[in-house]
Structure 1
Amino acid sequence: MPHRYFTNELAAGRAALTGSDAHHLADVMRAKLGEEVVLCGPDGLEYLGTVTAIQSGRVEFTVTKGTTSKAEPDAAVTLFAGYPKQGKLEEVIRHSVELGVTEIVPFFSRYCVATPKKEDAKNERYNRIAAEAAKQAGRAMLPHVSMPLLNFAAVCDALQEDYDLALFFYEGGGAPLRTVLRPGCAKKIAIVTGSEGGFSVEEAEAAKAAGAVTVGLGPRILRCETAPLTALTAAMLLTGNLE
């Protein structure tokens, strides 16, 4: 199977890789002229690229017409994840990208154990983790990890932007997920899960006021790193994106 790379330099039948990806292809994989790789552009399409030039820090290609990737779900899902402690967010990012998430937005809330610390540096690492997971999973678009929102009010503001459906997963229970999701029900979905401490009653009320549907994940209490992956898996299944 050809190696997979993401690039923003892709237009008019030509493309290029620079930086670490160019180094990996040219120096680590020892690519040759005429070799083929899969290139994914900012349009979310897949292209078959043929190496035409290898320079220091740059590899150039001719590319075929872009095709739609079977790996991309037909619903764009943004995961709002309560910020966990002890590096667990990396696990959530890696596996949610494998499952098909489009964007991950960490947030701090009333009962978060973690507190903001060196978030700029962490965000760079989080996006590298997302990129590697996207390559491994055969994704055609590069999911983005946003800088964390500093309180739950900011989450509620974000939910009112342009989502077709917002789901608030509450440990206090809610509607069964199968009554809310079905194939083709929404093109842009928001999923909100909490941190170790869960949500306060006031936060649950605020989410409802922001237009989110309160849903549950059954009678068991899931860990904060388990809940978002369970919610995302269930959403993908019920919308027909695990078939």
Structure 2
Amino acid sequence: MPHRYFTTEIGSGRAALTGPDAHHLADVMRGRVGDQVILCDANAVEYTGTITSVQPGRVEFSVSEGYPSAAEPSVEITLYAGYPKQGKLEDIIRHSVELGVHRVVPFFSRYCVAAPKKEEAKRERYARIAVEAAKQCGRGILPEVSLPLPDFASVCRELKDYDRAFFFYECGGSPLRTLLKEDKAVRRIALITGSEGGFAPEEADLAAAAGARTVGLGPRILRCETAPLAALAAVMTLTGNLE
């Protein structure tokens, strides 16, 4: 399978890579004139690029007509994940990108064990993890990792921007399958999962007041790094995006 790269320098039948990606293709992968790669514009459009020039720090291509990325799901999902401890967020980001998430938003809540620390620097690392995962699994966009929200009320204020929000509560709720059958036309979906300590009762009330549907994930209590991936995989399956 041809290697995949993202670039904004694409149009009129031409494209270019610069910086680390150009170095990777030219020096690590030993790309040569005539070799082909997949180029993505980060807007779910892909191109077959044929190398026409290899220069220090720059690789140029002729490109085919663009075509829609087959890897992008029919639903646009934002994952609101309670901030976990001990680096677990890196795995949540990596695997949720593989499953098709559009955006990941960590948040702090009442029972979070982790506390804010050097979040700007962490965000840079999280963004790199998302980019590498997107390349590895053939995505046509670069999913965003946002700075963490300071409290659960901030999460609830954003829910108005979605067609449907699902609040995954350790105390149980409605079956996800039933709710998605009722909402076949939804495109923009928010999924909300908690940290190690779960959610306080008043946070569950806030979610309901903001219009989120309370959902269960079966009779087992899932770890905070398992629940978001289970929720995301379930939504992707029930919307036909894992077929």
TM over 0.5: yes
User: Which residue number in structure 1 is paired with residue 191 of structure 2?
Assistant: 191
Question: CA shift at 1:53, angstroms?
Answer: 1.6
The alignment status of 1:219 with 2:202, answered yes or no, reads: no
Q: How large is the RMSD of aligned CA atoms in angstroms?
A: 1.1
The alignment status of 1:107 with 2:83, answered yes or no, reads: no
Question: CA shift at 1:184, angstroms?
Answer: 4.2
Partner SS for 1:192 = strand
Question: CA shift at 1:185, angstroms?
Answer: 3.1
Question: CA shift at 1:11, angstroms?
Answer: 1.8
Q: Deviations along 1:162-190, whole A, 9 cap, x unmatched? A: x1111010111110000011484311110
Moved more, 4-13 or 18-27: 4-13
Question: CA shift at 1:8, angstroms?
Answer: 1.5
User: Which residue number in structure 1 is paired with residue 136 of structure 2?
Assistant: 136
Distance 2:184 2:31 in 1: 42
Structure 2 unpaired stretches of 5+: none
User: Which residue number in structure 2 is paired with residue 232 of structure 1?
Assistant: 232
Distance 1:42 1:230 in 2: 26
Question: CA shift at 1:160, angstroms?
Answer: 1.4
Distance 1:201 1:238 in 2: 28
User: Which residue number in structure 2 is paired with residue 207 of structure 1?
Assistant: 207
Aligned AA (1:120):
E
Distance 2:157 2:17 in 1: 37
User: Which residue number in structure 2 is paired with residue 171 of structure 1?
Assistant: 170
Distance 1:225 1:232 in 2: 12
Question: CA shift at 1:99, angstroms?
Answer: 0.5
User: Which residue number in structure 2 is paired with residue 148 of structure 1?
Assistant: 148
Distance 1:107 1:215 in 2: 19
The alignment status of 1:67 with 2:51, answered yes or no, reads: no
User: Which residue number in structure 1 is paired with residue 78 of structure 2?
Assistant: 78
Distance 1:119 1:43 in 2: 27
Distance 1:12 1:213 in 2: 46
User: Which residue number in structure 2 is paired with residue 17 of structure 1?
Assistant: 17
Structure 1 unpaired stretches of 5+: none
Distance 2:55 2:17 in 1: 10
Aligned AA (1:89):
L
Conserved 8 A contact 1:185-1:239: no
Partner SS for 1:207 = helix
Residues 209 and 38 (structure 1 numbering): CA distance in 2 closer, same or farther, change over 3 Å? same
User: Which residue number in structure 2 is paired with residue 4 of structure 1?
Assistant: 4
Q: Deviations along 1:175-233, whole A, 9 cap, x unmatched? A: 00000114843111100000000001111110111111111101110000000000000
Distance 1:97 1:124 in 2: 16
Conserved 8 A contact 1:13-1:64: yes
Question: CA shift at 1:15, angstroms?
Answer: 1.3
Distance 2:3 2:87 in 1: 29
Partner SS for 2:224 = coil
Partner SS for 1:173 = coil
Q: Deviations along 1:9-47, whole A, 9 cap, x unmatched? A: 112222111111111001101110111100110321111
Distance 1:138 1:44 in 2: 11
User: Which residue number in structure 2 is paired with residue 57 of structure 1?
Assistant: 57
User: Which residue number in structure 2 is paired with residue 37 of structure 1?
Assistant: 37
